[in-house]
Amino acid sequence: MYENIKYEVKEDIGYITINRPQAMNALNMDVLNELTEALAEIEADDKVKVVIVTGEGKAFVAGADIAQMSKLNAIEGRAMMAAGHKVMNTIDQMEKPFIAAVNGFALGGGCELSMACDIRIASEKAKFGQPEVGLGIIPGFGGTQRLARFVGKGMAKYLIYTAEMIKADEAYRIGLVEKVVAPEELMAEAEKVAKTIASKAPIAIATAKVAINNGFDMDLKSASRLEVEATTSCFASEDKNEGMGAFLEKRTPEWKNK
């Protein structure tokens, strides 16, 4: 079904692998379109509770496809940026959580793809950067906006203006990734985190993601009101009764709202 990505489901975890190793998994329009299709498939599949995104070979995603972009005029470039934003925003806004398992280069669109995910786990060999200004453009898949929210305005400007590529330990230090592990442990760690999340109440995970995302740019008073309403919706769910009942009865919960 897909030519540029791999998508499979194992138990309750979905796996998306960018599969253009000959091009360092660079994002072109075909990849973006296939990602859009896969995301729609994930959204419709109630069995999938968590998604892991990674890259085939030595790269996570080494950027957008420069060979393709070099031929685009302004109108065509705008269309490609819109397609990239559609993918990143869908991942960001979907209620299901996404984990980026960053196995290698996460540059340009790759760094932006990792930032669209909820959690980033990086191999010690991973490298991050936004090199676009060296190509005469700027990050166009959300990088100018998400990077500043992750690492602060000053650090985002530094990384974007200089196009500096940083290693995984530095990405961890500045808050761009949540965990750094040995290369051979990357997928096992991503799966461990995914299984932990999948074992929790699906409606609670979804509600928490919505509350965090929507409240992030609000003032604290408004965000607190949002949290009260979000928590109230959980109290109306079967999973609240099941989770608390299982805790009191010292048993494993069987979630209803799947």
Residues catalogued as catalytic? 112, 132
Contacts of 236 (CB under 8 A, 6+ apart): none
- The β-bridge partners of 100 are 53, 120
Tokens standing for residue 137? 């453009």
Computed over its alpha carbons, how large is the radius of gyration of the chain? 19
